[in-house]
């Protein structure tokens, strides 16, 4: 037809779950993509008449969802997957992780580890991640190589590492990197002070000044363990959250990771200031940190997204796993079977994460005008039959093994479960190199 509109891509699917409007499931619909943007979402029958795509991708047994968002990870730590398992957090950090990092972590380690993480995340349906690690310039290279979207953490910690000498050096390097790449379409930036127990008041004040000037989120670990709270009480006389409140850090710009141990007053405080929280259920369980009061936080209207934490403490970069664990834990801890229903869990894994990062106008839902960040999940597997409710299946039945296609900004990064931007064999070679090196020197 001569009056058809030319577009780049038309994706036809059995279901589209757009997240916005809430609790919507579209049956036999298509997404029209042009110039990397979602141009239209409409019934397949109408799409065939209206559009003339350069390519049509028909996914007759699939659900299309917004790309999943990993709101907290240390991507390069994928190279430490399985090291020093079954230990409490501070022993794990002090006796194992930090010594290994001091010996091995550099620009090449971070590049190789982050590319390995990107490959795992793409294959898991994750299109955007929020990173916190050393040598963030290497993370930037890995993200660009992979085609993913990422919020790059400008890491700050009050002791020297191979990356920086002191807090001022961390900040200067992070800001220089941001200045170089802040206009890149797939990159955003967060200030990433590691935690209250590794960052001084003076450093927090400097970070807050920069964050307010640059309108940039602050991403930090907070209230992860009882030990953290005890150390804060011994050194400052107050709990970490109250300390950050006194310093002026509580605001909608704060992305607080873990938040396991909270009083009722602290929950109300988080809501009052509009902070976002990252729920990392698998990491919290593995490190025996406890169970975050997610049901109470949700009842107060707090914005919550999901994070995997690093592969050294999870040991997977798998948001499907986090969604399922979170939904089940919320029911078990609250004693309410209707706590954290499936639609809400999926929203937490997508739009809530985007909103926390200040990217809600760009990604997080399948909405006309947003970037084409899309994950396709194949429901043809017998393990997913029968299917009465595809959203329920996404949370309680499906796994990352059913992810078949992934697009970021309209570019296909995964096609029929095969990576299109990263070389699997090169990743295997580099991973084997680091495994041998770390295993030899850590004995």
120-173: per-residue pLDDT in tens?
Answer: 999 999 999 999 999 999 999 999 999 999 999 999 999 999 999 999 999 999
Q: Would you place residue 443 in the very low, low, confident or very high pLDDT band (cuts 50, 70, 90)? A: low
Q: Is 3 helix (H, G, I), strand (E, B) or coil?
A: coil
Please write down the HEC assignment for all residues of 388-419: CCHHHHHHHCCCHHHEEEEEECCEEEEECCEE
CA 189/CA 359 separation, integer angstroms: 11
Share of the chain above pLDDT 90, in %: 95
49: number of Cβ within 10 Å = 10
Tokens describing residue 46: 């109408």
Model confidence at 442: pLDDT above 80? no
Instruction: For the full predicted model, state whether its pTM sits above 0.95.
Output: yes
pLDDT digits (tens, 9 = 90+) for 365-401: 999 999 999 999 999 999 999 999 999 999 999 999 9
Cβ-in-10-Å burial (0-12, 13-18, 19+) of 296 comes to middle
Enumerate residues 6+ apart whose C-beta is below 8 A from 46.
none
CA 81/CA 310 separation, integer angstroms: 8
> What angle do the packed helices 240-247 and 201-214 form, to 10 degrees?
50
Q: Which fold has domain 68-356?
A: TIM Barrel (3.20.20)
Q: State the pLDDT at residue 426.
A: 98
Q: State the pLDDT at residue 113.
A: 98
Tokens 């029968």 belong to 386
Share of the chain above pLDDT 70, in %: 99
Domain boundaries, the chain: 5-66+374-408, 68-356
pLDDT digits (tens, 9 = 90+) for 409-419: 999 999 999 99
Q: Kindly state the DSSP code that residue 412 receives in the 8-state scheme.
A: E
Enumerate residues 6+ apart whose C-beta is below 8 A from 437.
104
Worst-scoring range by mean pLDDT, 89-93, 163-167, 296-300, 404-408? 89-93
234: number of Cβ within 10 Å = 8
CATH for the 5-66+374-408 domain, from 2.30.40.10, 3.40.50.300, 1.10.150.120, 3.30.428.10? 2.30.40.10
* 404-425: average pLDDT: 98
């Amino acid at each position: 037809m001569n009056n058809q509109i030319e577009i780049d891509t038309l994706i036809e699917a059995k279901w589209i779950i757009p997240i916005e409007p809430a609790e919507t499931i579209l049956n036999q619909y298509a997404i029209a993509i042009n110039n990397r943007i979602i141009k239209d979402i409409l019934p397949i029958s109408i799409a065939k008449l209206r559009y003339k795509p350069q390519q049509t991708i028909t996914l007759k047994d699939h659900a299309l969802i917004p790309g999943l968002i990993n709101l907290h990870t240390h991507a390069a730590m994928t190279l430490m997957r399985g090291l020093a398992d079954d230990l409490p957090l501070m022993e794990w950090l002090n006796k194992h992780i930090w010594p290994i990092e001091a010996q091995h972590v550099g620009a090449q380690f971070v590049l190789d580890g982050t590319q390995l993480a990107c490959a795992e995340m793409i294959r898991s349906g994750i299109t955007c991640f929020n990173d916190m690690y050393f040598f963030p310039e290497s993370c930037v290279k890995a993200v660009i190589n992979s085609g993913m979207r990422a919020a790059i953490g400008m890491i700050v910690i009050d002791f020297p590492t191979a990356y920086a000498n002191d807090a001022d050096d961390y900040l200067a390097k992070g800001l220089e990197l941001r200045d170089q790449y802040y206009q890149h379409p797939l990159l955003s930036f967060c200030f990433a002070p590691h935690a209250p127990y590794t960052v001084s008041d003076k450093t927090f004040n400097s970070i807050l000044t920069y964050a307010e000037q640059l309108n940039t989120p602050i991403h930090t670990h907070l209230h992860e363990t009882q030990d953290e709270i005890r150390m804060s009480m011994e050194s400052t006389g107050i709990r970490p959250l109250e300390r950050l409140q006194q310093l002026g850090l509580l605001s909608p710009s704060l992305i607080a990771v873990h938040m396991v141990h909270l009083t009722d007053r602290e929950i109300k405080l988080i809501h009052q200031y509009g902070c976002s929280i990252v729920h990392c259920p698998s990491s919290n369980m593995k490190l025996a940190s406890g169970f975050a009061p997610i049901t109470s936080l949700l009842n107060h209207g707090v914005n919550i997204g999901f994070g995997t934490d690093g592969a050294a403490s999870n040991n997977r970069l798998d948001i499907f796993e986090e969604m399922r664990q979170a939904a089940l834990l919320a029911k078990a801890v609250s004693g309410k079977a209707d706590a954290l229903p499936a639609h809400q869990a999926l929203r937490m894994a997508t739009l809530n994460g985007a909103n926390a990062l200040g990217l809600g106008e760009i990604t997080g839902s399948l909405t006309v005008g947003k970037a084409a960040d899309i994950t396709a999940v194949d429901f043809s597997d017998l393990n997913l039959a029968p299917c009465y409710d595809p959203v329920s299946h996404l949370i309680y039945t499906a796994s990352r093994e059913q992810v078949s296609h992934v697009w970021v900004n309209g570019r296909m990064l995964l096609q029929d479960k095969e990576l299109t931007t990263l070389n699997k064999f090169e990743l295997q070679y580099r991973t084997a190199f680091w495994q041998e090196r770390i295993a030899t020197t850590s004995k």
